[in-house]
Amino acid sequence: MNKKALVTAIVCTLMVLAAYFAWQFVFFEYETNVYTTTAEQLFTIDHLTKLVPLLIIGLLTAIGIVACIAVRNYLMRRDTFRGPFAAWRGTPSTKGHVHGRRVSAFMVVRWVCMVGFFALMVFGGVLLGQRYSWISIPVLSCPANMSQLTEASCYYLAHLEELAGLPLMGIVAFVASTLGFVLVFGRVLCGFVCPMGLAQDVMHKIRQATKVEGIAMTERMYQALVPIRWVMLLLMIGLSFVGGNFCNFCPAIALTPVAAGLSVSLYASGFLMVFVLIASFFKRRLFCTICPLGYLMGLAYRIQPFRIKKDCTACTECGACYEACPMGIKQLYTEREKADVTDISCIMCGECVRCCPEDRALSLTLLGRDIYVSKRLRVVQGYGR
C-alpha cells in the first residue's frame, strides 16, 4: 500500500469512527430539545439566545481562518522559493475568477433564489402559516426544523428503516416528490436551493471581500476526495442500521434548525460545520464535492433538462472554465468533440459560463434553449483598473 492510499484509508476510518460515536463529541447540548417555534417567538430575546450555537460556530470559524492564514504566512516566510506555499506569494487574490463591475441577470437570479429558499427552509412554515410535510425536497436542509416550509429528503434517506415504517401513502409521497425533484432539477437544487450551498458561497464572498488568497485545487486533490465522498454516502445510507445516527454527524443540523431558533443539541455535527465553513472560505463549495445527498441527486444528470453545452470550435483552451468551476469538472476544458459536457458533479452555478472569454463557447441550456451563454464582452468589462 502506497503512502497516498494509506493516508486515505486512515482519514476514511477516522470519519467512520467519528460518525458512529458522534453523540459522544458534544458541541452544544440542551437538556430538552425543542423542534418548533412560532412567528411571535422569532422576535423575542429567547429566540436570540437560541442562536448561541451559531455564534459559537462563527467565532470558531473566524479563529480557524485567522490561524490558517497565520500558519500559511509563516511557512511562506521560512521557505519563499521551495516551500509548498511559495506559489501564493505575489499572486492576485482573485486567481481563476473575474470580478465584473456588471453582474449578469443569471447570477442575480441565482442569489435571489438561494436567499429566498434559505428563508423558506428556515422560517417558511411559520411565516406562511402552512407546512407541506408531504413534499420532500432532496436538499441538505435539516428536517429537524419543523418551522421550514416543507420536508427535506435527507432524514429518511439516512433512516431507511423509519421510512419503511411509514404508511403506504407516506412512502409513496416521499418517493414521488423526491424522485420528481431529482429527475427535473438534479443538482440545480445544490446551486440554487440548498442552504448549505448558500453558507459556502457566503464564505467565498467573504474571502473575496477580504482579499485573502484561496487554495487552487489540483486534479490529484479532487481525486483524493472521491473515497471520502463514497464513505460519506455509505455513512448516510447505512449508519442507522448499525446503531449510529448520521444526523449527529451531519453539519446541516447546525444551520437551518439553529437559525430558526430551535434548541437542537449539536454533537460532532457542530465541529464538522466549523470545518466546512473554514474549508469553504479557502476553497469554494468544498463540502459539495463530498456531499452524499448531492451525489445522489447527480445520478440523474444524463436525463435532466438542464445541460452545459460547449462549442469546441470556439474554445481556445484557456482553461478559465476549469479554474472557475467550484466542483473541479475538468471535461469543461478537455472535451474536444462532444457538445454536451454536463457532469454528475455539476451544480449549474454558471461560473464556467461567466468566466469563459469566448462568445457562445459555453452555454447553460434548459430543454435545448440557451438561458446563459458566455460572452467575450462581459469578461473584458469585468476587468477593473
pLDDT digits (tens, 9 = 90+) for 220-252: 889 889 999 999 999 999 999 998 999 999 999
Query: Exposed e or buried b for every residue in 157-181, given b needs 16+ CB within 10 A?
Result: bbbeeebeeeeeeeeebbeebbeeb
Same domain, 119 and 242: yes
Same domain, 196 and 254: yes
1 lies in some domain = no
191 lies in some domain = yes
| C-alpha cell recorded at residue 126 | 411559520
Q: Which of 288, 304, 320 is the last residue of a domain?
A: 304
250 lies in some domain = yes
Instruction: Report d(CA 376, CA 379) in Å as an integer.
Output: 5
Query: Which residue is it, cell 455539476?
Result: 346
**364: helix, strand or coil:** strand
In this prediction, residue 91 carries a pLDDT of 40
Same domain, 210 and 348: no
Give 136's strand partners: 151
DSSP secondary structure of 289-346: GT-HHHHHHHTTTTT-SEEEEE-TTT-----HHHHH-TT--THHHH-SS-SB---TT-
Alpha-carbon separation of residue 58 from 54, 203, 259, 298 (angstroms) = 6, 11, 12, 30
User: Which pairing describes strands 132-137 and 306-310: parallel, antiparallel, or unpaired?
Assistant: unpaired
In this prediction, residue 126 carries a pLDDT of 86
| C-alpha cell recorded at residue 151 | 420536508
In this prediction, residue 99 carries a pLDDT of 45
Instruction: Report d(CA 283, CA 65) in Å as an integer.
Output: 12
Same domain, 229 and 84: yes
Q: Which of 284, 304, 324 is the last residue of a domain?
A: 304
| Domain of 137, in residue numbers | 45-88+99-304
Number of domains present in the structure of the chain: 2
Alpha-helix runs per DSSP H in the chain = 3-20, 45-49, 52-78, 105-128, 154-158, 160-164, 168-185, 188-192, 195-210, 219-238, 256-259, 268-282, 292-298, 320-324, 331-334, 351-355, 376-382
Instruction: Report d(CA 280, CA 203) in Å as an integer.
Output: 6
Same domain, 292 and 332: no
Same domain, 114 and 208: yes
Same domain, 171 and 290: yes
Give 362's strand partners: 310
6 lies in some domain = no
19 lies in some domain = no
In this prediction, residue 383 carries a pLDDT of 62
179 lies in some domain = yes
Same domain, 345 and 292: no
Asked whether the beta carbons of 153 and 178 are under 8 A apart, the reply is yes
Q: Which of 289, 304, 319 is the last residue of a domain?
A: 304
Instruction: Report d(CA 167, CA 92) in Å as an integer.
Output: 57
Same domain, 317 and 199: no
Same domain, 222 and 311: no
Task: Give per-residue pLDDT as tens, 22-39.
Answer: 999 999 999 888 877 777
28 lies in some domain = no
pTM greater than 0.85: yes
Task: Give per-residue pLDDT as tens, 34-74.
Answer: 877 777 777 788 788 889 999 999 999 999 999 999 998 88
Same domain, 260 and 155: yes
In this prediction, residue 81 carries a pLDDT of 57
C-alpha dihedral (185, 125, 262, 239), degrees to nearest 10: -40
- CATH number of the domain to which 375 belongs: 3.30.70.20
Same domain, 296 and 356: no
Question: Which regions of the chain are under pLDDT 50?
Answer: 87-100, 385
25 lies in some domain = no
